């Protein structure tokens, strides 16, 4: 069971349309290292985790990633909602507009749709947790590139928050990997 | 009293408290025997519950499906939704 809380995890402020920035940020909605991929990866890997702590970490981080997906959606939605068509064209978002108007859809920065091929679930918890650590680093890098591209201080503030969360998640997955390794070692020797 | 303004102030407080709870929660998942973190977590839970109660009494439920009462009519449907950004 999941509960929806009618609030964002972190406040989003947008004062003017910026379809060019939205075109880039949307990759954290539906791109390879985005929040949808992160959430679904952890929430589907949790079933085959061998220890209670790993099941909790994957459930909790997978749930927090859903909240991040909502933050990214709120950013993109507000950056394109009042953008005139001329700006949408100038930003190279006219192809997106043809398919989706100003609606939200899961694509990367170049318009490629989300695919489950972005994520894995191997059954081997050591393998999966290594993927999760790499995923957090890839998301952190993407947020860094988005911060470099951003010309909107309010958007930059939100991107910084999201980047810091990836650092924390990487840390927690590293600790989880160690706990799983210790569990597997104990099983091997006793 | 400026209603919209005090609503946002209370919401910011809830966001800050809940963020602290999320971060402590993840830390406790991998450090369940850290007493200080556990005490902090339980303190935040109490403060967050009080702030949410105050918010929900004035502005309607933050959570549906039976987790918050709705005594003055069905206010779950009230706008704004979280992505409807107010500056
Ligand atoms: Fe993350």
A5 falls within a domain: no
**B33 and chain A: CB distance < 8 Å anywhere?**
no
Residue A40, helix vs strand vs coil: helix
pLDDT score of A131: 98
CB contact under 8 A, B85 and A13: yes
Contacts of B83 in chain A (CB under 8 A): 8, 12, 70, 73-74, 77-78
DSSP letters for A152-187: -HHHHHHHHHHHHHHHHHHHHHHHHHHHHHHHHHHH
**Contact state of A78 with B83 under an 8 Å Cβ cutoff:** yes
Facing residue for A6 by CB, picked from B22, B26, B82:
B82
In a domain, A12, yes or no: no
User: Using CB atoms, which residue from B15, B26, B30 is nearest to A9?
Assistant: B15
In a domain, residue A10? The reply is no
Record: contact A11-B12, CB cut-off 8 A: yes
Among residues B46, B27, B72, B48, which one has the least CA distance to residue A7? B48
Q: Is residue A151 part of a domain?
A: yes
A70 interface with B at CB cutoff 8 Å: yes
What are the helix (H) ranges across chain A?
A: 19-25, 27-30, 35-45, 52-80, 85-90, 94-100, 125-149, 153-189
**Cβ pair A4:B27 closer than 8 A:** no
Residue A140's nearest CA partner among A68, A58, A53, A80 is A68
> For A9, which of B19, B31, B62 is closest by C-beta distance?
B19
Position B2 pLDDT exceeds 60: no
- Number of structural domains, chain A? 1
Q: What pLDDT was estimated at residue A65?
A: 98
- Residue A113, classed as helix, strand or coil, is strand
Looking up tokens 């993840």 gives B26
Answer whether B66 touches A (CB < 8 Å). Answer: no
Per-residue pLDDT tens for B46-69?
A: 999 999 999 999 999 999 999 999
Q: Tell me, what's the pLDDT at A5?
A: 98
> Could you tell me the residue range of the domain that residue A147 belongs to?
19-115+123-184
Ordered per-residue pLDDT tens for chain A, 190 residues: 999 999 999 999 999 999 999 999 999 999 999 999 999 999 999 999 999 999 999 999 999 999 999 999 999 999 999 999 999 999 999 999 999 999 999 999 999 999 999 999 999 999 999 999 999 999 999 999 999 999 999 999 999 999 999 999 999 999 999 999 999 999 887 6
DSSP string, B5-71: HHHHHHHHHHHHHHHHHHHHHHHHHH-TT-HHHHHHHHHHHHHHHHHHHHHHHHH--SB-TTSS--T
B2 to chain A, any CB pair closer than 8 A? The answer is no
| Domain-embedded: residue A3 | no
Among A residues 42-61, those touching chain B with beta carbons less than 8 Å apart = 53, 56-57, 60-61
Intra-chain end-to-end CA distance of chain A, in Å: 37
- What is the pLDDT at residue B85? 84
pLDDT at residue number A85: 98
Across the range B20-32, mean pLDDT stands at 98
Residues of A in contact with B54 (CB under 8 A): none
**CA A62 to CA A44: how far, in whole Å?**
9
| Residue at A102 is within a domain | yes
- Could you tell me if residue A78 is inside a domain? yes
CATH number of the domain residue A154 falls in: 1.20.1260.10
Per-residue confidence (pLDDT) for residue B1, from 0 to 100: 47
Mean predicted confidence (pLDDT) in B13-19 = 98
Q: Kindly state whether residue A7 falls inside one of the protein's structural domains.
A: no
pLDDT given for residue A189 in this prediction: 79
Assign B3 a pLDDT band (cuts: 50, 70, 90). Answer: low
């Amino acid at each position: 069971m999941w509960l929806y809380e009618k609030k964002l995890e972190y406040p989003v402020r947008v004062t003017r349309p910026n379809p060019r920035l939205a075109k880039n940020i949307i990759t954290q909605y539906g791109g390879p290292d985005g929040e949808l991929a992160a959430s679904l990866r952890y929430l589907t890997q949790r079933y085959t985790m061998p220890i209670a702590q790993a099941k909790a970490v994957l459930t909790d981080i997978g749930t927090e990633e859903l909240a991040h997906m909502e933050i990214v959606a709120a950013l993109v939605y507000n950056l394109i909602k009042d953008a005139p068509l001329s700006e949408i064209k100038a930003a190279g978002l006219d192809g997106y507009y043809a398919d989706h108007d100003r609606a939200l859809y899961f694509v990367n920065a170049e318009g490629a749709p989300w695919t489950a091929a972005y994520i894995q679930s191997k059954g081997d918890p050591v393998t999966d947790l290594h993927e999760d650590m790499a995923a957090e680093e890839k998301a952190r890098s993407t947020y860094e590139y988005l911060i470099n591209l951003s010309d909107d201080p309010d958007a930059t503030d939100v991107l910084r928050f999201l980047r810091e969360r990836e650092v924390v998640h990487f840390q927690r997955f590293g600790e989880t990997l160690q706990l799983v390794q210790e569990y597997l070692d104990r099983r091997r020797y006793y | 009293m400026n209603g919209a303004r005090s609503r946002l102030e209370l919401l910011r407080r809830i966001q800050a408290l809940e963020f602290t709870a999320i971060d402590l929660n993840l830390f406790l998942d991998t450090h369940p025997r850290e007493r200080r973190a556990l005490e902090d977590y339980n303190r935040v839970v109490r403060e967050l519950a009080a702030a949410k109660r105050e918010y929900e009494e004035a502005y309607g439920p933050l959570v549906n499906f039976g987790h918050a009462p709705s005594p003055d009519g069905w206010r779950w449907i009230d706008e704004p939704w979280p992505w409807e950004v107010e500056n």
